[in-house]
Structure 1
Amino acid sequence: MNSVLRIVTTLLLLSGCTAANSASLPYDAWRLGFSSPNYMEVWIETADVIDMQGIVYRRAMSGVSAIQTPPNNSGDPRGWPLRPGWGKGKYVTGADLPKKIFVRWQSLVEPQTYKMSIDIRDSTREIMRKGEKTFCAADGKWITGYRKAIVIGLAPGGIAKVWATGPCLTPIEITRVQAEVDPRGPYEGKAGGEYDSLSDESKAYVEKFGVPYGSWK
């Protein structure tokens, strides 16, 4: 087989795998998003996904989570929102629905590095596949919506809460996970134990009020 034919064959195989992986979804792709409580800044080193076909998607998401840092300590980081948003994230294009999600992140207010594995149950995937008639106030239309997003809230102490949600639909809580400390520290020990600095707003809040451990049930 010459090199050109080999490349074409490989591309066809990859495109076939992508089509097969996403065939069970009633939409083009599902989304993975992250958020954190006010001022409780985190840095996501990596979020890796294993889909139902056993294919691994490395760094499906990384970087900062969605967060608010209102000035003058006017925000409240305690507890989880009643209606969490989509968070900051990405679509996991070409993937089937998730089976496992692995996350390693830095809680910058402590500072501490955590890692965890989230098992996505069949019941969650059924929620993500099920269409639901809903009214979108933003454009005044009825649509068939899907909870095509997994949103993960990350809080100090290694607490994570997981929801399935979608446009114009009420989020459904999926699970709560207690992560474990990664003793290697940030970047698997490759950063010499150094963490990024907090923003001025987060630093001011933590210095005055501390971290409200125990509020993220």
Structure 2
Amino acid sequence: MSKALRLAIVVTFLLSGCTTANSASLPYKAWHLGFSAPNYMEVWIETADVIDTRGQVYRRAMSGVSAIQTPPNNSGHPKGWPKRPGRGKGKYVTGAELPKKIYVRWQSLAEQKTYQVSIDVPESTREIMRKQETVYCAFDGREINEYRDALVIGLAPGGIAKVWILGSCLPPIEVTRVQAEIDLRGPYEGKSDGKYYNLSDISRRHIEEFGIPYGSW
């Protein structure tokens, strides 16, 4: 972990006892934290830790695999992000206020590299997540009132982390794109003797034939 990233996390934790003006109660029961990855570019999320606007820390708010598609016969297209990303695979962060900072450490199985990043969530994003909007929902066949209660992080090779907020029917809004740093300790903070989580055969074959489309995310 770089000195800059370590310092940022330490400072945030030292301030974790402070209640801010941004800690208004949620207009819904909980918000959803989800993760996705480009086709075939599998990742394993070791931990996603959340610090909310009250300074409360939620360790391992999410871990494990992200949402991903691995179509057979190399028919998938990993370049770029979808115009309308989904909620990803994740969990509701129950009991938390809206996020102020999210720390993610993950294994890029396509590259056999470990990345870590600290993502700041601006107040402007939280304001949108608190705002109720009216939208036509095809699922219901009518207009509904809804919030953007989901925050989705796309993880791509090269250490790219892209963030959106969205609702079930409300379209996604891009929040930020962040460059992660390589964790030189390797997987599991150096506690696995360099062994990574397994990459599926279908993804491995695609990467061997077509490579990794760096620069497209």
Aligned to 1:108: 109
Question: What are the ranges of 5 or more consecutive residues in structure 1 without an aligned counterpart?
Answer: 1-20
Moved over 6 A (4+): none
Q: What's 1:122 paired with?
A: 123
Kept in 2: contact 1:128–1:147 (CA 8 A): yes
Q: Within the alignment, does 1:165 sit opposite 2:166 as a pair?
A: yes
**For residues 143-162 of structure 1, what are the structure 2 equivalents within 5 Å?**
143-162=144-163
- The residue identity in structure 2 corresponding to 1:40 is M
Counterpart-to-counterpart distance in 2, 1:97 and 1:198: 33
Structure 2 stretches lacking a partner, 5+ long: 1-21
2:100 is the counterpart of 1:99: yes
* Bigger radius of gyration: 1
Indicate the RMSD between aligned Cα atoms, in angstroms. 1.2
TM-score between both structures, scaled by the size of structure 2: 0.89
SS in 2 for 1:106: strand
Q: How far did residue 200 of structure 1 move?
A: 1.3
Cα offset, 1:22, TM superposition: 8.3
In 2, the alpha carbon distance for the partners of 1:153 and 1:181 equals 17
Measured against aligned partners, the alpha-carbon deviations of 1:87-146 in whole angstroms (never above 9, x if no partner) come to: 000000010000000000000010100000000001000010000001111121211110
Amino acid at match of 1:156: P
3-state SS of paired residue (1:161): strand
Residues in 2 aligned to 1:194 and 1:168: alpha-carbon distance in whole angstroms: 40
Residue aligning to 1:8: none
SS in 2 for 1:26: coil
What CA distance in whole angstroms lies between the structure 2 residues aligned with 1:23 and 1:162?
Answer: 22
One-letter identity of the residue aligned with 1:183 = L
Deviates more, 1:194-203 or 1:30-39: 194-203
Provide the residue aligned with 2:201 in structure 1: 200
> Equivalent residue of 1:68, what SS?
coil
Contact 2:23 2:54 in 1 (8 A): no
Q: Say whether the 8 Å CA contact 1:22–1:28 is kept in structure 2.
A: no
Provide the residue aligned with 1:188 in structure 2.
189
Q: Is the 8 A contact 2:151 2:164 kept in 1?
A: yes
Distance 1:120 1:160 in 2: 13
Aligned residues of 1:22 and 1:95 also touching (Cα < 8 A)? no
Q: Which residue of 2 aligns with 1:78?
A: 79
- Tell whether the 8 Å contact from 1:22 to 1:29 is kept in structure 2 after alignment: no
Matched residues in 1 for 2:27 and 2:161: separation? Answer: 28
